[in-house]
Amino acid sequence: MARKKKKFLIRFTPPQILALGILTIILIGSVLLSLPAATVSGRPLAFLNAFFTATSAATVTGLTVVNTGAEFSLFGQLVILALVQVGGLGFMTMATLIALVLRKKISLRERLLLQEAMNQSSVEGIVRLIRKVLTYALIIELTGAVLFAIRWSFDMPLGKAIYFGVFHSISIFNNAGFDLFGSIPDSKGSLMEYVHDPFINLVAIALIVLGGIGFIVMVDLLDYKETRRLSLHSKVVLSATGLLILLGSIVIFIFEFTNPNTLQPLSFTSKLYASFFQSATTRSAGVNTIDIESMRQATQFFIIILMFIGAAPGSAGGGIKITTFAILVGAVYAMSRGREEIVFFRKRLAKDRLYKATTLTLLALFLIIIGTMALSVLERAPFLIIMFEITSAFGTAGMSLGLTSELSVPGKMLMAVLMFIGRLGPLTLAYALTPKGGKELYRYPEGKITIG
Residue-by-residue DSSP string for 385-399: HHHHHHHHHHTT---
Find all residues with CB under 8 Å of 365, minimum gap 6, and list them: none
Global confidence as pTM: 0.88
Cα 32 to Cα 28: distance, rounded to the nearest angstrom: 6
- In whole angstroms, what is the distance from residue 295 CA to residue 394 CA? 21
Residue 146: the pLDDT is 96
Given this model, what pLDDT does residue 101 score? 47
Distance CA 13, CA 113 (A): 9
Q: Quote the pLDDT of residue 449.
A: 75
Secondary structure of residue 341 in the 3-state scheme: coil
Angle at 86 between CA 69 and CA 53, to 5 degrees: 40
Q: What is the DSSP letter of 314?
A: T
- What's the confidence (pLDDT) of residue 246? 95
Rounded CA separation 158/170 (Å): 18
pLDDT score of 383: 94
Q: Domain-by-domain residue ranges, the chain?
A: 10-431
Angstrom CA distances, 288 to 62, 194, 346, stand at: 12, 10, 38
Cβ-proximal residues to 420 (8 Å cutoff; 6+ apart), any chain: 22, 23, 26, 55, 59
In angstroms, the CA 408 to CA 415 distance is: 11
Distance between CA 244 and CA 248 in Å, rounded? Answer: 6
Reported as half-sphere exposure (CB side, CA atoms, 13 A), residue 248 has a value of: 27
The angle formed by the CA atoms of residues 287, 292 and 294, to the nearest 5 degrees, is 155
Amino acid at 119: N
| CA distance readout (Å), 446 to 320, 443, 451 | 31, 9, 16
Residue 108's pLDDT is 52
In the chain, how many H helices and how many E strands? 20, 2
Side chain identity at residue 367, one-letter code:
L
Chain center to CA of 387: 18
Q: Which amino acid is at 60?
A: V
Residue pLDDT tens, the chain, 452 long: 445 545 544 566 666 777 787 888 899 999 999 999 999 988 999 999 999 999 999 988 989 999 888 899 999 999 999 999 888 876 555 555 555 444 555 555 555 555 545 555 555 556 676 777 788 888 999 999 999 999 999 989 999 999 999 999 999 998 888 999 887 877 777 889 899 999 999 999 999 999 888 878 888 888 887 887 888 888 999 999 999 999 999 999 999 999 999 999 999 999 999 999 999 999 888 899 999 999 999 999 999 999 999 988 878 788 899 999 999 999 999 888 888 888 888 888 888 888 889 988 999 999 999 999 999 999 999 999 999 999 999 998 989 998 998 999 999 999 999 999 888 877 666 655 565 555 566 677 877 776 66
Between the two ends of the chain, the Cα-to-Cα distance in Å is 60
Nearest of 327, 132, 136 to residue 240 by alpha carbon? 327
Distance CA 14, CA 9 (A): 9
